[in-house]
Copies of this chain bind each other. A is one copy, B any other.
């Protein structure tokens, strides 16, 4: 189930950069040197030492899949001169998406949204972007960046010309675009729920709508700051993201706005779904009770009538003592009268539109 509170936080009073809760085993580390459309890979535990930034052209891309161990973080932090506050954000999962600028590098934190069995999953992605290096740390299980590597190898003019910042853009673009198939599936789910609400609102529909609303809530809490990340990158226009990257950043920014718009629409649809569900259930319940009440109402006068002729008035000489009981056609006449009463009531109910 999508949790409302998912942050790991340091104990209050602990020095920043020295938080206690370091999750999990070591992450898988891979490193590449990119130089003029050549992408040389250094995998394994020793990759970090081998792929240190060189003085010539090109740049280094280091990718960690999984939550890194404190040792790995310290090693990378020392090698590339990363700020301790920036490294702390890697250790504490559940960060809010943001961008921070330090002297030699910028840090972008994003959360990759995905749909698992039991709800929305958010995998934190930390991007450290310097002039000559990109370090990407992806907390999830699957590496989504394989297509980027293929592009680097094939038609890589932009990578050549714009360097490490363009790679950072490409990685952020992959993360943001993961939201589109998710939005599509959510849209389909809303439309299915809509149909099932209007057709036959089962007892689990409300729970499904409730789950949906919670997921949208969590997603929206993520997406507002995601949008702000790219709005800030566009607005600040600081190194290493120069003017040349602006059209590409604007493109991501447009995508985040589109997804935000969709999220807001979905939220309204979900609210309106809850109302529709409640009204449908209410109406159905009212329908049942109305029909049943009508049945009861038809029989009640009849029951009274047959009760009348079940009375035992029996003054031996009185002609007023239930003379109907002793008429020749009394019984069938009563049946006829009762049928007439039923017909009259049905007619009246139907004319008033109650049936």
Contact = CB atoms under 8 A, between A and B. Distances in A.
B326 A288 contact: no
A286 interface: yes
Nearest to A98: B254
Interface in A240-267: 247-248, 250-251, 254, 257-258, 261-262, 264-266
Q: How large is the interface on A (under 10, 10 to 19, 20 to 34, 35 or more residues)?
A: 35 or more
Contact of A309 (B102, B206, B311): B311
Contacts of A308: 306
Contact of A174 (B13, B218, B257, B313): B13
Contact of A283 (B184, B251, B261, B281): B281
Contacts of A264: 221
B295 A289 contact: no
Nearest to A187: B5
A321 interface: yes
A269 B312 contact: no
A252 to B, nearest CB: 9
B315 A312 contact: no
A288 B293 contact: yes
A223 to B, nearest CB: 11
Nearest to A247: B85
A330 B313 contact: yes
Interface in A7-24: 7, 9-16, 18
Give how many copies assemble into the complex.
Answer: 5
Contacts of A13: 144-148, 151, 174, 177
Given A272-B210, A272-B213, A7 B300 contact: no
A354 interface: yes
A257 B96 contact: yes
Contact of A313 (B207, B309, B317): B309
Nearest to A280: B206
A353 B280 CA distance: 14
Interface string A308-327: 11111111111011100111
Interface in A169-221: 173-174, 177-178, 180-181, 183-184, 187-188, 190-191, 194, 198, 200, 206-207, 210, 213-214, 217-218, 221
A116 interface: no
A321 B315 contact: no
A124 to B, nearest CB: 13
A269 to B, nearest CB: 7
A149 to B, nearest CB: 10
26 contacts: A3-B187, A4-B266, A5-B187, A5-B262, A7-B180, A13-B144, A13-B151, A16-B251, A214-B269, A221-B262, A278-B279, A282-B282, A285-B290, A288-B352, A296-B296, A296-B297, A299-B304, A302-B304, A303-B307, A304-B306, A309-B313, A310-B312, A311-B331, A312-B312, A320-B329, A321-B328
Report, nearest first, the 5 A-B pairs whose CB atoms are least far apart.
Answer: A13-B147, A5-B187, A12-B177, A306-B307, A309-B311
